[in-house]
Structure 1
Amino acid sequence: LHEDFEKRFRKEGHASINIDEQQHDDYEPLDDDDIPEDAYFEEEEEEEEEEEEEEEEEEEEEEEEEEEEEEEEEEEEEEEEEEEEEEEEDVEGEEEQEEEEEEEEEEEEEEEEEEEEEEEEEEEGRRGRRRRRRRRTTRMTRKRSKRQLEE
């Protein structure tokens, strides 16, 4: 294979290449100084591309973090609103309860006043009946006395 390659290489007018297996085995990697400029620029471009990719990934991560923070803030705001609504409902409930208690107290007071008025009216009615009875009895007694006197 090697000989065929060399023959074809000579036919095309190139210099003879002497590559033997030992020389191939002794190969040592090139230093940075020995790397051709094209390879250096390719490596630089690859590094730049990698840096750009890393920057893009970092930007994406930052965007994701910002979105997460915004979501958390929205959730916190919703929770605060819910708590405020619950507090308002509690306050409204307490106010309603106080109003109901006041109404009940007023109703009780009105009932007590009505009972007192009824008792007073009954007392006055008894007095009135007593007076009428007394008057009637005194009238009757007078009439009897008159009759007795007349008789």
Structure 2
Amino acid sequence: MSKTPWHAALPTPSSAPPRITVSELRALAGAKKAGVEFIVVDARRADFDDLGSNYIHRAAINLPAHTLYQTLPVVGPLLQNIPQVIFHCNSCKAGSRGERTAGWYQDYLDANGITTSKAYVLDGGFKALKAEAPEELKEVAV
């Protein structure tokens, strides 16, 4: 018996936001103000809470993919003035939570004519971040 995926009842994003590499994120974090000029959105949920990987980028907030679409009417206005909003999940493979949430956010921006912000996907996700730039991580209590 196959399990219905968590996102089956939600629309498929029509946007395909560009990817940003860990080295590009590292450069961005060194040159721009977090929370004002860029922010990282960690879209993990169960793997963030349950598997002991309770680390995020030091400029990140945790907005789980499983609830992001439903909260876009609240989250969108909070993020819409941040020029670069970078989404990631564990590995950001094709069809992943990172891609899906970035697409939903960009769809929200496009539908509302908002040009002050743009969605990106962190190439390789948390795994790449942890491997390539562990100094960019911070531990959070869960």
Which interval holds the TM-score relative to the shorter structure? under 0.3
| TM-score normalized with structure 1 length | 0.17
Could you say which structure has the greater relative contact order, defined with CA pairs below 8 angstroms and 6 or more residues apart?
2
The structure number with the bigger radius of gyration is 1
| TM-score normalized with structure 2 length | 0.18
Q: Which has the higher helix share?
A: 1
Q: Which has the higher strand share?
A: 2
